[in-house]
């Protein structure tokens, strides 16, 4: 059976993490995603360095490159790119050159959509904004999702996940309760959130095109996508004029709702108790049924007011337990609980193994590794990693000759003039 989005061609300048999160979803569902890069400038999803310094490769920054190797085509060994761009194709075009600009326009004329999350001025400066593309292809759908959208005083502000989450109010909520925002861990929630919103928007626009025959521009703000994930805080202020601050691991109404220590070094379990019945089950599992008779913990309101004391009691018990066994015990008792797994434990997790979550992929530069699998399990159209992420410029010939209709002579001219290529210019010297 054809995959859900098979037959849809999407051009992409999906950068850093928000962009690759979107192309991953589209490509996994069968769309022909063509990443448009250039040999004149680095793709920050692949690398920020033409010549990575030794200190970088030996430090945390080097962990994204297979075996921390900086020689050869190291940009094709980047784990971030190779995960986010699996099932995609890749071409290179110098969009600043008139011939390169013409090449892109010709490709856009044969495409269904174009997504990009550059800073707001980039595509305007390059002459590949929606009016430019719609002039040659009225059916094209263009998703633009910079940090703060295409209108308003923040339009040209630059930002990454940490900045977008801060301006959206997310950072002020998720830190530790006893520390200021400087100790808030960076989770970059804005990136995959915006990607999911963007993919849904593209699919919706494709449905609209089926009815009308016309494409459209989608203006999306990454920050606004995050704001939609914080309804409790905005409603609390709207109704109660109360400004929420750092919650830590607590919850507006559940108690206990915490991550507590388990036996061993840096071992933890997350427990969430929604009501009195669940608390009674937790108390019995602890061998402390008396807790339900304690006035401090007798009901949800009391437990919420006395969380410090309650977490101290429960934490003293969890600290004596092995986390996986405790998770299984509490789940059997009807208590929502989960062991906190580290990345190495995820690869050997028996639940994920039984579901076939990880798929083995062999990449010509990066080698053979397990990759997180598809976004969902479709019964009629199973999703799998069909091909590894593309190397820089890997599909130039197939795309430009096969889709655009470039002749052999024109193709060789594009190579000679370095409008296209398969290696970064400076790194190739």
Q: How far out from the chain centre does Cα 297 lie?
A: 39
Both tokens of 376, joined, read: 């969902």
Scored b (16 or more CB within 10 A) or e, 35-65 reads bbbbbbebbebbbeeeebeeeebeeeebebb
pTM reported for the whole predicted model = 0.93
Q: Which ranges in the chain are annotated with CATH 3.30.1540.10?
A: 257-261+268-339
* H or E element, residue 16: none
Give me the tens of pLDDT residue by residue for the chain, a chain 429 residues long: 899 999 999 999 999 999 999 999 999 999 999 999 999 999 999 998 888 899 999 998 899 999 999 889 999 999 999 999 999 999 999 999 999 999 999 999 999 999 999 999 999 999 999 999 999 999 999 999 999 999 999 999 998 988 999 999 999 888 888 888 888 888 888 999 999 999 999 999 999 999 999 999 999 999 999 998 888 899 999 999 999 888 889 998 899 999 999 999 999 999 999 999 999 999 999 999 999 999 999 999 999 999 999 999 999 999 999 999 999 999 999 999 999 999 899 988 999 999 999 999 999 999 999 999 878 899 999 999 999 999 999 999 999 999 999 999 999 999 999 999 999 997 644
> Which residues belong to CATH 3.40.50.10540 in the chain?
9-228+356-416
24 contacts: CB under 8 Å, gap ≥ 6: 83, 84, 85, 86, 87, 195, 375
- Would you state the structure tokens that stand for residue 367, as one six-digit string? 């080698």
The domain at 257-261+268-339 falls in which architecture?
Answer: 2-Layer Sandwich (3.30)
Token pair listed for 58: 């030996």
Strand (E) positions, 58-127?
89-92, 113-116
What's the CATH class of domain 9-228+356-416?
alpha beta
CA nearest to 117, candidates 35, 54, 208, 9: 35
Cα separation, 41 vs 61, whole angstroms: 20
Q: Between the CA of residue 333 and those of 146, 176, 327, 340, what are the distances in Å?
A: 46, 30, 10, 19
Rounded to the nearest angstrom, the gap between the alpha carbon of residue 429 and the centroid of all alpha carbons in its chain is 34
DSSP state of 338: E
Pick the closest to residue 414 from 40, 133, 94, 11 (CA basis). 94
Provide the CA 352 distance to its chain's centre, in angstroms: 20
């Amino acid at each position: 059976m054809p995959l859900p989005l098979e037959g849809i061609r999407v051009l992409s300048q999906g950068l850093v993490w928000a962009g690759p999160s979107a192309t991953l979803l589209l490509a996994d569902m069968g769309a022909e995603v063509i990443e448009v890069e250039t040999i004149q400038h680095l793709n920050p999803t692949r690398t920020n360095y033409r010549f990575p310094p030794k200190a970088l490769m030996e430090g945390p920054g080097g962990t994204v490159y297979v075996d921390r190797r900086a020689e050869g085509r190291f940009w094709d060994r980047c784990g971030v790119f190779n995960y986010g761009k699996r099932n995609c194709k890749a071409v290179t075009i110098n969009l600043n050159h008139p011939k390169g600009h013409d090449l892109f326009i010709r490709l856009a004329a044969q495409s269904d959509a174009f997504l990009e999350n550059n800073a707001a001025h980039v595509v305007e400066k390059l002459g590949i904004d929606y009016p430019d593309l719609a002039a040659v292809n009225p059916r094209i759908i263009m998703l633009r999702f910079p940090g703060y959208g295409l209108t308003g005083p923040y339009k040209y502000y630059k930002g990454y996940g940490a900045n977008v989450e801060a301006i959206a109010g997310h950072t002020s909520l998720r830190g530790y309760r006893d520390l200021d925002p400087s100790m808030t861990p960076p989770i970059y929630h804005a990136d995959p959130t915006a990607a999911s919103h963007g993919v849904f928007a593209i699919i919706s626009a494709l449905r609209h095109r089926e009815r009308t025959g016309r494409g459209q521009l989608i203006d999306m703000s990454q920050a606004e996508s995050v704001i939609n994930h914080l309804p409790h805080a905005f409603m609390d202020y709207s109704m109660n004029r109360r400004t929420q601050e750092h919650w830590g691991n607590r919850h507006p109404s559940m108690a206990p709702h915490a991550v507590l220590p388990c036996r061993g070094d840096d071992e933890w379990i997350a427990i969430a108790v929604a009501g009195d019945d669940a608390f009674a089950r937790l108390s019995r599992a602890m061998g402390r049924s008396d807790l339900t008779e304690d006035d401090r913990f007798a009901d949800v309101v009391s437990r919420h007011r006395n969380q410090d004391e309650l977490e101290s009691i429960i934490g003293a018990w969890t600290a004596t337990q092995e986390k996986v066994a405790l998770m299984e015990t509490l789940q059997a008792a009807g208590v929502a609980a989960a062991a906190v797994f580290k990345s190495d434990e995820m690869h050997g997790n028996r639940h994920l193994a039984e579901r076939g979550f990880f798929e083995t992929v062999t990449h010509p530069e990066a080698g053979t590794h397990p990759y997180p699998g598809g976004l969902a399990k479709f019964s009629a159209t199973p999703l799998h990693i069909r091909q590894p992420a593309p190397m820089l410029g890997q599909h130039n010939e197939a795309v430009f000759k096969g889709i655009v209709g470039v002749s052999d002579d024109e193709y060789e001219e594009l190579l000679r003039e370095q409008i296209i290529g398969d290696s970064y210019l400076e790194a190739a010297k």
